[in-house]
Amino acid sequence: MRLKPFALVLLALGAPPAPAGDVPAGFFASSREAEARAERAFLATPSADKARRWLQTLTEEPHVAGTPQEKALAEYVRDRFREMGLEADIVRYDVFLNHPKSVTARLVEPVEEELALREEPIPGDKDSTRRGMFPAFHGYGASGGAEGQVVYANYGTPADFEKLQSLGVPVQGRIVLARYGRVFRGLKVKEAQERGASGILIYSDPADDGYMKGDVYPDGPMRPPSAIQRGSVRFNSYAAGDPSTPGWASTPGAKRVPRDEMDSVPRIPSLPLSYAEAEKILRRLGGVRVPDDWQGGLPFAYHVGPGAAAVAMDVQMDEGLKPIFNVIARIPGTEAPEQLVILGNHRDAWTHGAVDPSSGTASMLEAARGLAAALATGWRPRRTILLASWDAEEYGLVGSTEWAEDRAAELTAHAVAYVNLDSSVTGPDLDVGGVPSLRDLVREAARDVPEPKKGGSVGEAWERRERAEWARESPIELHGPEPTFELQVDPLGSGSDYTAFLDHLGVPSLNFGFDGPYGVYHSVFDNFRWMERFGDPEFLYHAAAARLYGLLAMRLASADVVPLRFGSYATALRQSLDALRRDVLRKARTPAEPDGKESRPLVPDFGPVLAALERLGAAGAAADRAVERLVAAERRDLAAQANAALLQVERAFVSPDGLPGRPWFRHVLYAPGTTTGYAAWPFPGLRQAVEDRDPALFAAESAKVVTALDAAAERLSAVARLAP
């Protein structure tokens, strides 16, 4: 798509262009002029300078969930929404959280030396000081002490622990040292705990986000030696939200699970370390040299241990019920006010959080200003728009999950979509994850947002990068048709606030942001100075994120027929299933498990799922064609029926029984991996069966997937029958 001449003139003058792509999906011809006028007012409003000022204010103090600073920030965001003319209120929940009372880690052998749990301040960076900061700790980390020899476990994956066992290096009664990366930190703690370790230290290796990836802060964007990655160690592949109310909302009088019965939080102590402090341990480890792919970036050969190094750690937490505060702003709909389009961003941070999450909060506030400007033109959405500023995301998606569980019936009946913006900017490259039914919407909207520096649109730049990545990674088919590129959004796993909406309730969800080199994640250096120097010095991409965010909301809320399109859903699922089938072939060639046991054969029958995908694809294409006919004919008498049916298609993928071993996760097509935490497992039940080499589980989960796909196909067929 090329910008139209008028759009180019506006861009040259510093104003955003009018929408220049195809007519947005789902709008009757009679609705388009009013929508275009409102979108012009919206797009003209977000400002880089205003986003800069928002971010500077939002990052003035650290604001960990459950602290007075975070409550004050909730009130600030609420008041700004109200100043824009939006209805806005605070929704409080009392949830189980922890803050550190006393945390220490020290070498006790071969020398006595305290290990620093705070960063070294950097001259000229006022936010790198200790003012207002907790020492480094893990959210939901267990209280307790541990002392013993140290064993290095690479990334702390199940395969890494199996490798240690094969090398004759037990972890029982010892302290594990693992590096961040590959899998979610909480799963590293879970694995160490299940294998008998007495404690675990997790550090950031310079090979992963430090000097081997680029210049370190303050000279570059990557992690300096003293930077510490904080974070939650909740076992987030198994449930989200308040662990004292697993599966139900933390409302007044709710039943509470005591700490010693919570099965999704650790029971052994853990702490994060910088690589400067981890080096003091790693240099003293003995045992065999690590496998080549375990070697990190510090300038010496790593060993698995044990050896001369022994560590004592003591973690004492102030834990219990603490208040958190979601802020919900509302733009009421006119024709179907019960239908909800939800924009979400979390507000809490481990530190000042310029990237995570305050860049997203700044973009949300700019999107809200733009929506207020559209309202001033007389525009009103057909459906209600909610802007949600969540609390306690960092601990385990707590604020969004409690709110979603609290309103599960309403959301199941009426939610159109959830659009998430967590860290909106670390660089210039748009990245989008979501369900395939929202692909066409985000592609259209992104084509109408100008690329701030390179010309064209952010959508064009996104598609070019996706095509180039596909060309590098697409498998070559020696037999069969030559593969062709089709733009897809990335599948969603977990790690941000879309999780409760998609994985628990089946609400179509998107997550996007602009990416670039970013090595200061969850450290005190994730602050305004870092953003101003490296992430988005001109704050142009903050404004671009706001424009994309608001366009998505306006089109979801105002289209005569909701822009959920299902023709590409089966194609995306087939690609994911092909990847799973290739993995089955790979595992079939593996003669034995790492512990020497004979592998169980797994020769699954993918035929029923493939046949169901064919049925879903045909039904989706027919529904899309019917919607096009309905829109072209402006059949307002049928639009409400089409909308009601389209809203329920994604819900068909939700199983009331949930996934194997984790019933809170109920979407049978998308979930985080049990061994990844963040990364998605498409067809999670089938993937679990493949990982476990369990034919009976595969058969059961295959039947569940086929039932869900056929239920969705039937709902799409109902749409197709509206305009045959």
Q: How far apart are CA 344 and CA 600, in angstroms?
A: 44
- The answer to whether residues 590 and 475 touch, using CB atoms and an 8 Å cutoff, is no
Q: How far apart are CA 506 and CA 503, in angstroms?
A: 6
User: Phi then psi for 378, rounded to 5 degrees?
Assistant: 105, -5
Cβ neighbourhood burial of 584 (10 Å; 0-12, 13-18, 19+): middle
Alpha helices, DSSP H, located in 474-588: 498-499, 528-530, 540-558, 569-588
Question: What DSSP character marks residue 292?
Answer: G
Q: How far apart are CA 568 and CA 582, in angstroms?
A: 22
Structure token digits, residue 361 = 């909060």
Bridge-partner residues for 151, per DSSP? 176
Cβ neighbourhood burial of 178 (10 Å; 0-12, 13-18, 19+): buried
Which residue among the candidates 35, 119, 393, 650 is catalytic per the annotation?
A: 393
Q: How far apart are CA 655 and CA 683, in angstroms?
A: 13
- For 360, residues 6+ apart whose C-beta sits below 8 A from its C-beta are 345, 346, 421, 422, 423, 424, 513, 545
């300096």: which residue's tokens?
Answer: 224
Active site residue 628: no
- The answer to whether residues 447 and 463 touch, using CB atoms and an 8 Å cutoff, is no
C-alpha 160: how far from its chain's center?
Answer: 25
Q: How far apart are CA 715 and CA 282, in angstroms?
A: 58
Nearest C-alpha neighbor of 161 from the set 187, 123, 122: 187
- For 115, residues 6+ apart whose C-beta sits below 8 A from its C-beta are 105, 106, 107, 273, 277, 280, 281, 311
- The answer to whether residues 74 and 221 touch, using CB atoms and an 8 Å cutoff, is no
User: Phi then psi for 312, rounded to 5 degrees?
Assistant: -115, 135
Coil, helix or strand for 101? strand
CA dihedral of residues 458, 462, 463, 466 (deg, nearest 10)? 180
- The answer to whether residues 502 and 510 touch, using CB atoms and an 8 Å cutoff, is no
Which residues are catalytic, by number? 393
